[in-house]
Amino acid sequence: MGRSRHSVLAAAVTVVCAVTLLGAPGTAFARALPEPTPPAAPAPSASPSASPSVTLPPDKDLQAVRAKLDKLYHDAAVATDAYNLAAEKTKKQSAEITDLNQKIAEGQLTLDGLRDRAGAAARAQYRTGGLPPEVQLMLGNDPQDFFEGAGRVLQSQRATKSLIEETARAQQDLKLYADDAADHLHLLEAGRKAKAAAKKRIKERIKEAEQLEARLEKRQRERLAELERQASDRAQSAWLGTGILDELDGKASAAGRRAVEFATAQLGKPYEWGAEGPGTYDCSGLTSQAWAAAGRPVPRTSQQQWKRLRHVDINDMRPGDLIIYFGDASHVGMYVGDGTIVHAPRPGRTVTLAGAGSMPILGVVRPDTD
């Protein structure tokens, strides 16, 4: 009986252990069962600015994307310079046309006055009957009166001749002013067309660049920014590696200090093409306004600054000088010392400090001369 009870208890313990083992997670029995299929993840929704047919480029292609963006923004900078130049010419032509219109109005008044004088002389001659001098002598009672009258007639003839010549000159001047105004109107219209064409190119390039950047994921945009920083750092390091800072010991002029103070006071303000402040700037808008604030006006565009300002050797560069970048002079920054510039880089960026050698240098110009 005791053995029978012991056998039953042993069998019961064996059953309980077996049930416990089969119910335990992570056992070989559990792994033998088929794995449940996970539910399919919902497809990510497309970004509003991304085209459904466009695939995001892999990281290995980001260098090509950066090169494309650089070209687009460079093209926009070139178009911005063309826009600014056309705007400057349009402003100048408008002012000259206004001046010519004033001269035309004054010339017309002068001509009207001369015609009034000519009419008065004609009426005076009519009152004398327009008789020849010898007839007036025969009919006159007093020869002395005749000779005095003849003198007056001679003076009148001379005055009439002078009046005719003056009237002819006034008419000629009026015609020249009118022709000049017509030429200026033609140039003004051409400038407006150039300005509109440049504006269109700027908007197209910036829109294309923004669309390209919008197709990138956040991690790709961050990596793209890092690639850009690395390229700038390499260029700056190479420039500094020439020992250029050992050569740069020029001191800023009083006007140069004022220009640097103005430019650096704009740090953090957004870039906007065609802008000259006070809230936004493009690259040459910043430099031209800085030097205007220093009392030394300079040309509006980077290309005109390169053409018309005095060139100096880069080893003689001093704070306040303007560094012109790229072979087409499409960008400009102001040297502030210690190998640094202040500039308005491009759309989507703000006025900032950067390495003077972080971009290809075309040359250096100096707005003020000693």
Nearest CA to 86 out of 273, 351, 263, 315 is that of 273
Q: Quote the pLDDT of residue 7.
A: 40
| Mean pLDDT on 60-74 | 88
pLDDT of residue 157: 60
State which of 13-27, 29-43, 309-323 shows the largest mean pLDDT: 309-323
> What number is the average pLDDT over the span 33-60?
44
Note if 17 is an active site residue.
no
Ordered by start, the domain boundaries in the chain are 61-213, 232-366
Bigger pLDDT: 212 or 164? 212
Average pLDDT score, the chain = 78
Task: Kindly tell me the burial class for residue 198, based on how many C-beta atoms sit within 10 Å of its own C-beta (0-12, 13-18, 19 or more).
Answer: buried
What is the reported pLDDT for 195? 86
Of 217 and 265, which is predicted with more confidence?
265
Q: Say what percent of the chain tops pLDDT 90.
A: 46
- Residues near 336 by beta carbon (within 8 Å), at least 6 away in sequence: 260, 263, 264, 319, 342, 353
pLDDT at 341 over 80: yes
Percent of the chain with pLDDT over 70: 71
- Position with higher pLDDT, 165 vs 304: 304
CA–CA separation, 310 vs 325, rounded Å?
16
Using pLDDT thresholds of 50, 70 and 90, give the confidence band for residue 132.
Answer: low
For 99-131, write each residue's pLDDT tens digit. 878 878 877 777 777 777 767 766 666 665 555
Per-residue pLDDT averaged across 72-92, rounded?
A: 90
Distance CA 50, CA 198 (A): 27
Report the phi/psi class of residue 161: left, alpha or beta, with left for phi > 0 and alpha for psi in -120 to 50: alpha
Question: C-alpha 232: how far from its chain's center?
Answer: 23
| Superfamily of chain region 232-366 | endopeptidase domain like (from Nostoc punctiforme) (3.90.1720.10)
pLDDT of residue 111: 72
State how far the Cα of 134 lies from the Cα of 146, in Å rounded to an integer.
10
State yes or no: is 74 an active-site residue: no
Average pLDDT, integer, range 177-197: 83
164 vs 243, more confident:
243
Given 74, 186, 311, 331, which residue is catalytic? 331
pLDDT tens digits for range 265-324: 999 999 999 999 999 999 999 999 999 999 999 999 999 999 999 999 999 999 999 999
The one-letter code for the residue type at 137 is L
Of 154, 118, 162, 158, which is closest to residue 136 (Cα–Cα)? 154
Minimum mean pLDDT among 125-129, 185-189, 196-200, 236-240: which range?
A: 125-129
The whole-number pLDDT of residue 37 equals 42
Read off φ and ψ for residue 301, nearest 5 degrees: -105, 155
**Where in 303-360 does DSSP place strands (E)?**
310-312, 322-325, 331-337, 340-343, 352-355
State the number of CA atoms in the 13 A half-sphere of 341 facing the CB.
27
Give the pLDDT confidence score for residue 340 in this predicted structure.
97
Catalytic residue (one of 6, 17, 74, 283): 283
- Of 308, 302, 355, 356, nearest in space to 332 by CA: 302
| Euclidean distance between CA atoms 273 and 331, whole angstroms | 12
**pLDDT, mean of residues 76-99:** 87
Q: Which residue has the higher pLDDT, 108 or 262?
A: 262
pLDDT for the residue numbered 10: 38
Q: Is the preceding peptide bond at 48 cis, omega within 30 degrees of 0?
A: no
Burial zone of 100 (CB within 10 Å; 0-12 exposed, 13-18 middle, 19+ buried)? buried
| Calculated CA dihedral for residues 320, 326, 331, 334, nearest 10 degrees | -10
Residue 52 has pLDDT above 50, yes or no: no
Going by pLDDT thresholds of 50, 70 and 90, the confidence category of residue 176 is: confident
Letter string b/e over residues 6-20, b meaning 16 or more CB atoms within 10 A of that residue's CB: eeeeeeeeeeeeeee
User: What pLDDT does residue 190 have?
Assistant: 84
- Per the listing, tokens 């991690």 go with 219
pTM confidence score: 0.66
Most confident of 158-167, 180-189, 283-292: 283-292
pLDDT at residue 281 in the model? 98
* Banded model confidence at residue 247, pLDDT cuts 50, 70, 90: confident
pLDDT grade for 140, boundaries at 50, 70 and 90: low
- Give the residue carrying structure tokens 């006034």: 170
Tens digits of per-residue pLDDT, 356-366? 999 999 999 99
pLDDT of residue 349: 94
Fold of 61-213: Helix Hairpins (1.10.287)
pLDDT at 29: 28
Question: Which one from 6, 184, 186, 343 is the annotated catalytic residue?
Answer: 343
